[in-house]
Every structure is written in structure tokens, then in C-alpha cells.
Chain A
Amino acid sequence: PNALVFLEHRNGVLDSSSLSALTAATQLGGQVTGLILSGPESSATAIENASKLKGLNKLIHSTADTYKSPVVEAVTPLLKQVLSDSTYTHVVSATSSFAKSLLPRVAALLDAPQISDITSVEHDASSNATTFTRPIYAGNAIATVKASSSIPIKFFTVRSTSFAAALSADVAEASLETLEPVSAGDVPTEHLKTSLTKSDRPELGTASRIVSGGRPLKDAKTFEDTLYPLADVLGAAVGASRAAVDAGYADNSLQVGQTGKVVAPELYMAFGISGAIQHLAGMKDSKLIVAVNKDPEAPIFQIADVGLVGDLYQVIPELTEKLKASK
């Protein structure tokens, strides 16, 4: 196998979900090439960081102003060209919002299907077939899917919680190749602006501890005033249920669930979250689940390791104080 991994970064710092995608690619058991795109400002850092990644045999990089905040229409021709002139057998990426938008577009142009959000991968070199597992129905069933040798290039996106992040070496190990940007002609889509939610807390997708809140948190201010002190004491990221996001208490980037972020931290604490299947889909692989809810019948208690029936407005302040005191 000869895999191409699409590596994403922010200002040259690789996304940890891309590092998980790289790990999945190495499990195919063959050559692994990384592809990294960047604007001129961050290309040196991006290349330096990426070329040190363990498991990467080769790194292809391309720099252009249009790759700084790219639209998929501008990147598609480049990826198509890389794949047309080569012997790649697999195209791998994180299940990130950009790669989710890009990979299916490119796959369709090469008449290839895609396997989304895989949780395991196994390649059989003798039959040139790759077998994947992936959650379906919000994780209520696990499908085992085989892409046989009749599919020459196998596209898949990787669920980052199922693969450890690839490590970095001290010095560059991968060989480097520079690729001229490929003109996409008259691109029909223009990037206007990106607004990222600023936070000093750990990032939700990679945090080892998460404190999450639901609808009983009333409004945005109460959500913050109640959850943030506890999150700070624990050094935790903050998450939210769909109900809390829909009601405007929390930013959409904090949503945990089938259609939001899928997380699997060491500790997941759910406050005032009843446990709809769509929410459980996003957090049930967490190591220790703590649930606090007024309703003793809330479904979240069925999967929680530690449940406490109670009013979160009493529990959270007391918990925060007791944790501080027992430090």
C-alpha cells in the first residue's frame, strides 16, 4: 500500500486529528506520504513540523496565498493531480470539517467511494483489500466494511478518538517534495472570513477532561458562571449538549454528539444532560463518565460510571469547593 495523508495545521502547528489520521495510515503497512498546504507565512513552520512526524516517509508541500484559508474548490485540482500522476492506493484524512468537505468531492471525481469516520483499519496486501469498522446510526451499530481490489484508490476519514496521535522525531525523517500550486481557474467560491471561538481552555476534541452542560443551565451567562469555575479547577475543556447550543447558551463548536464533536476523554462530566442517543454517540467512549441530573430516570445514568441525583446548582459549587480544598 501507498497512502497519501492529508495533513491539516493551524499556523504551522499540526492538528492532532491529522496526527491520528497518520497513525491510521501507518496501520496499512506500507509507504506513507503526507500532503500539506499552507499560505506563505506558515509554510516554513508547517513543513518543519510535518517532516519530523514519525511514520511519514515523504512529505509533499505546496504553498500559495489561496491555501491559507482555502476553499475546497481551490484545492480539489491539486489533489486530483497528485492522485492522477501516482500510484497511491489510499487517501486518508481526519474527520475534520475541511477534510469532510474536500475528500468526497475529490473521490467522486475519481469515481471512488469513501469510507467515513473509521474506527479501525486492516489491509490485506495479498488481496489488496482493506477492511474498516465504522459507527453507523449514531454509534448504535458498528459496520464492518470492505473495499476490495476493484477500488484502486480507497478514500477514508479517520475518527481521531480511535487512533493515538503520531509522534514527532527530533529531526526530519521524511523526504521533501515541493509541488507547484495547481490553478483552479475561475474558482466559484470565495472565502470571506473565519471566526474562531477563542478560549484559554483545552480544546474539546483532544482534552483529557471535559465538563459538559445541558438545557437546565438557563442562559449563556449562567452556563459560564456555573460550569467554568469547575472546568478551571479540573483543567477541563467545556462541552455542551445540543439543547444548550440550540438555546444559545454555548457556541456550536462546543456541541458533543452525533453531529457535533465526538470525544473520548479520560473524564467526562455531564451536568443536566439527560442522555439522548445523539449525545451519547459523541461521548460514550469516555473512560470515566460522571452524570449529575435531577431526574433519577435520565438515560445518562445507564451509561454513567458515577451518577449523582441532584440539583446541579447545588452540586457544582460544592464540588468545585471540595476539589479545591482537597488539592
Chain B
Amino acid sequence: MRPTSARFLNILVPVKRAVDYAVKIRVNSQQTGVDLNVKHSMNPFDEIAVEEAVRIRERIKDEVKSIRAVTIGPSKSLDTLRTALAMGADSAIHVEVPESAPAPEPLGVAKTIRALVEKNKEIDLIILGKQAIDDDAGQTGQMLAGLLGWSQATFASKVDVDTKNNVVTVLREIDGGSEEIKCKLPLVITTDLRLNEPRYASLPNIMKAKKKPVEKLKPEDLGVDLTPMLETIKVAEPPKRVGGGKVESVEELVGKLKDAGFTAV
């Protein structure tokens, strides 16, 4: 038997175009969704995923053969791919859906990425955000790992790749603390907040990104159907909290606490 040589990693980073984290969300008057005519940017957790892919390459150099970004979305999602390319991805895939199409559900997204992995068999590491800050579902990475039958490391806060032994050690954020696991490649990682701090793309890199290749595909090309299985009946404003009460002194604050039944134990 031939000795197994060191593995060359091909990394795929799925990214999502989402309403920018700083935008104040407004529900539309028909109560069918929120006003999307606002600033969008890459989902912050996906930025962390791109950054991690680039940092892995900075650490293990040539052992990373490729970093590819993928997005599923309308034509404007190309901006998000360009951001990933400017941060350091080599190439990108845009699975384009019509502007009018409903947002795909996590299961549809996972099936699309699975189809891409089956088409590009060399991919052995997928890094994506633990959740998107728009639908806050937090499912895609786990669903993808399940469909592929791969190892999964959710909520990663530290990633250590060992290509000699084909394993990745991941520190994960869990309820009440952290957990360390060792995963065999191929692997799906979802990123938590403290994995890294994403870089800002430099102007030269933004210019270079414009020349990097972006492959365009349609869901049909991959044989996937992105029709949502769930029905969104209504999107409403949350109940408004009436605040704004003020006190002038600690004395008064203690009084308010006491009135509400909060005293020392």
C-alpha cells in the first residue's frame, strides 16, 4: 500500500448576503417581511469563516490548494462574493436565484452545497457561519454535514489543522464553557464570534478581486429545488417595550428596586 502523503486542502466557504448588522430593521406594512431596501453586507459569521480559511492558508501555506467562496442568492449577492475574494478566496461560485424568489431555507442551501461538493470532489473542508443574522436559524452547517455524512464542528472558537494526520482539532463554545473535539477530514466547521477578527480588504486586493473567476450556476444546473417547505404567514413588529424611566440618585434606585420586591438576599 502506498503511504498516504500529506493532504492538500481544498476549502469551500459558503457566504450569505444579509441586511447589515447595524441597520435598524423595519417590518413592511403588508407584514410579509422586513424592508430590504437597506444596506447589505456579508453575514458577519461568514466573514469570520472566510478569514479563518485565509488564516489556515497563512499557517500551513501550500498545503491549502484552494479557497473557494460560494453564495446562493440574487444577482446582488455577487458583491458578497467579491468581498470574499478581496479577503483572500481564490475563486467563487454564484448560484443565482431570481430577485423575486423567496429566500431559500437552510435545507435547500445545504442540498445545493452538497451538490457542489459532489461536483467538485476535491473539497474536504467547508467553513461557514454558525448562523445568519437575518433568519437566525443556525442550521445550514449541521444539515450539510449530515447530508454529506461528514464530521461536524459547530461554534468553533479555535481551529488547528493537522494535514499530516488528516485531522482538525476544534475548540467549541458550548453552554457553560467550551469543548475540544478532534475531527477527521472531510469536515464541516461553523464559526463562532471569537474564532478570529476578520480583516478589512485592502484597496489593491479589492481591485484584484475583480479579476478573480466567478462561476455562475443555477439551482437547476445542480438538480436542486429551493422552493421553501415552510410557509411564512406573517412578519410582525415585536411588542414595544416602554422604557425611558429615570432616577437621579442611587437612593432613588434602591427605592425603585424595593418597590418591585428586589432587596438583598
Binding site for B on A (CB under 8 A): 69, 71-73, 76, 96-98, 100-109, 111-117, 131, 135-148, 150-151, 188-197, 203, 205, 209, 233-235, 242, 245-246, 251-253, 258-259, 266-267, 277-278, 284, 288-290, 301-310, 315, 318-319, 322-324, 326-327
A192 and B138 within 8 A (CB) = no
B75 to nearest A CB, angstroms? 23
B179 and A193 within 8 A (CB) = yes
B229 and A151 within 8 A (CB) = yes
Pick from B105, B155, B172, B193: contact of A246, CB below 8 A: B193
> Could you say which interface size class chain B belongs to?
35 or more
B181 and A108 within 8 A (CB) = no
A117 and B194 within 8 A (CB) = no
A-B contact count (CB 8 A): 258
A141 and B152 within 8 A (CB) = no
A100/B264 contact (C-beta < 8 A), A107-B107, A193-B180 known: no
Stretch at the interface among B63-71, B94-102, B251-259: B251-259
A125 to nearest B CB, angstroms? 18
B142 and A135 within 8 A (CB) = no
24 contacts between A and B (CB under 8 A): A73-B151, A97-B173, A102-B142, A105-B143, A105-B145, A107-B107, A114-B107, A137-B25, A137-B134, A138-B25, A147-B231, A151-B230, A188-B184, A189-B152, A233-B264, A235-B265, A242-B193, A258-B136, A259-B193, A278-B21, A289-B243, A301-B244, A307-B245, A315-B250
A305 and B265 within 8 A (CB) = no
Cβ–Cβ < 8 Å partners of B253 in chain A:
290, 306, 308, 315, 319
Cβ–Cβ < 8 Å partners of B27 in chain A:
141
Cβ–Cβ < 8 Å partners of A100 in chain B:
138, 142, 154
A137 and B262 within 8 A (CB) = no
Cβ–Cβ < 8 Å partners of B147 in chain A:
108-109
Cβ–Cβ < 8 Å partners of B215 in chain A:
none
Pick from A117, A150, A196, A288: contact of B262, CB below 8 A: A288
Binding site for A on B (CB under 8 A): 19, 21, 24-25, 27, 34, 45, 105-107, 110, 130-131, 133-140, 142-147, 150-155, 157, 169, 172-184, 187, 192-194, 229-238, 241, 243-254, 256-258, 260, 262-265
Pick from B136, B151, B184, B250: contact of A137, CB below 8 A: B136
Q: Is the interface of A mostly helix, strand, loop or mixed?
A: mixed
A267/B262 contact (C-beta < 8 A), A104-B143, A304-B245 known: yes
Cβ–Cβ < 8 Å partners of B150 in chain A:
188
Cβ–Cβ < 8 Å partners of A303 in chain B:
241, 243
Cβ–Cβ < 8 Å partners of A98 in chain B:
174-175
